[in-house]
Amino acid sequence: MDAPSVIRTKRDSGELTDAQIDWVIDAYTRGEVADEQMSALAMAILLNGMNLREISRWTDAMIRSGVRMDFSALPLPTSDKHSTGGVGDKITLPLAPLVAACGAAVPQLSGRGLGHTGGTLDKLESIPGWRALLSNDEMMTVLRDAGAVICAAGDGLAPADKKLYALRDVTGTVEAIPLIASSIMSKKIAEGTGALVLDVKVGSGAFMKNLADAQELARTMVGLGKAAGVNTVALLTDMSTPLGLTAGNALEVRESVEVLAGGGPADVVELTLALAREMLAAAGVHGKDPADALRDGSAMDHWRRMISAQGGDVDAPLPVAREQHVITASSSGVLTTLDAYAVGVCAWRLGAGRARKEDPVQAGAGVEMHAKPGDPIVAGQPLLTLHTDTPERYEYAIEALAGGIVVDPADTPFTAKPIVLDRIA
Ligand code: URA
């Protein structure tokens, strides 16, 4: 087998055989297939697609490139959630302890932010002392003691995806449904969760800009999960505007704690509860309403145990950026657009995100929103507060907001989008 012939098959819109897929994934993981060869193949896949057999074999080959985890020794059923990535998407933070409080164990392997979308690990690392890197034994101990664990995937889990995802990120080949589906599902299947709820984001701040593409991605991933024996469900959710009122690491931790304390923005609470209900149902856990666990403090207890077990000081003040800059409304009316992509890029440029994998992030940087689409606006009122340690970034960050905030006359009809747009099971 050789890489040019595999690339030519896909370049000419052919179907890759099982043997070609197994070989190319294994040889790439071992370094025998070079990055430039794999990037040519990834581009051919982006342009010409893969059928379900190819996607399923590709996923399986990536799982077989590393180890599989096993939680069968736990006394509780396991349930996990994966979001395809968005702006202000802090849902994992309140969701994992909430589901644990209701009786399912949550083994959540999370990632870091790249580009305009935030990453769960970057958010949690703003809590003083909190550690993302755990050994398998430590992960199991936190899961047993706190009912939920959020940590980085070890190097042994789907190493082919780790290499390929980094390559796709710098070769313009992220936005391919077969590659996204196999990337996400190889990690989730290798992780060994019994049930999985996918939060497939749709809109300007998501990889999938329209509902039809998101439905295709969701159907592909649900099919891969079920075929591997993971009870998988997908919710398609709106990402045309940021979730909640914050985008940025420590800012989002603060908002998540508000949700766990029974408050927080309505959209964050609604989506957290919708995903919690799906995760519990998929794991076969019935009888406890997650809304009660937010009210009675049991979700907060699990949060405190989970964060402390990973070295985090739950009572320490969260980092605050050195500088703040308020953006005010230039006219009165109704806020009709607060674009997720614009806010995500603004937060990223302020220092909340990274341009390269090895860049540090600023814990306190980000965007605080003072209004949401549909809210009445009075000229001069604060719309956003921008937080950063590096005020020289303000100009560049503010440029990202051009066209992303629209205040229309007060009598402009406005219909709020539902948060959950579809469900695929
Ligand atoms: N998240 C992943 O893990 N992989 C992708 O390809 C896209 C989002």
Q: Is 82 a catalytic residue?
A: yes
Q: Which 8-state DSSP code applies to residue 392?
A: G
Taking domain 3-49, whether its CATH number is 1.20.970.10 is answered by yes
- Locate the domains of the chain by residue range: 3-49, 79-178+190-309, 323-408
Contact 222, 234 (CB under 8 A): yes
Rg (CA), the chain: 21
Q: Does 341 contact ligand 1 (Cβ within 6 A)?
A: no
Q: So what's the architecture of 323-408 in CATH?
A: Alpha-Beta Complex (3.90)
Q: Which of 123, 152, 359 is nearest to 243 (CA)?
A: 123
Q: Is 370 a catalytic residue?
A: no
Predicted confidence (pLDDT) at residue 114 exceeds the cutoff of 70: no
Q: Please, which pLDDT band fits residue 269 given cuts at 50, 70 and 90?
A: very high
- Could you tell me how far CA 372 lies from the centroid of its own chain? 21
Mean pLDDT score, 296-308: 98
**Cα torsion through 425, 214, 275, 282, rounded to 10:** 20
Over the stretch 62-99, which tens digit does the pLDDT of each residue have?
999 999 999 989 999 999 999 998 999 999 999 999 99
Token pair listed for 324: 């703040």
Q: Which of 111, 106, 110, 108 is nearest to 146 (CA)?
A: 106
Mean pLDDT score, 358-370: 94
Over the stretch 203-212, which tens digit does the pLDDT of each residue have?
999 989 999 9
Nearest-angstrom CA–CA distance, 6 and 23: 10
Domain 79-178+190-309 class, CATH top level = alpha beta
Could you tell me the sign of the dihedral formed by the alpha carbons of 159, 164, 169, 175, in that order?
negative
The pLDDT value given to residue 77: 97
Q: Does 147 contact ligand 1 (Cβ within 6 A)?
A: no
Over the stretch 117-159, which tens digit does the pLDDT of each residue have?
789 999 999 999 999 999 888 999 999 999 999 999 888 899 9
Q: Is 183 a catalytic residue?
A: yes
Nearest-angstrom CA–CA distance, 311 and 366: 24
Over the stretch 180-190, which tens digit does the pLDDT of each residue have?
999 999 999 99
Q: What is the distance in A from the centroid of ligand 1 to the CA of 148?
A: 22
The pLDDT value given to residue 389: 98
Plot region of 124 (φ>0 → left; ψ -120 to 50 → alpha; else → beta): alpha
Mean pLDDT score, 380-404: 98
Average pLDDT over the chain reads: 96
Q: Is 57 a catalytic residue?
A: no
Q: What is the distance in A from the centroid of ligand 1 to the CA of 392?
A: 32
Predicted confidence (pLDDT) at residue 31 exceeds the cutoff of 80: yes
Over the stretch 311-350, which tens digit does the pLDDT of each residue have?
999 999 999 999 999 999 999 999 999 999 999 999 999 9
Query: Of the residues 10, 57, 81, 82, which is catalytic?
Result: 82
The pLDDT value given to residue 256: 98
Task: Specify the residue for token string 């379900």.
Answer: 52
The pLDDT value given to residue 112: 82
Lowest mean pLDDT among 161-165, 234-238, 249-253: 161-165
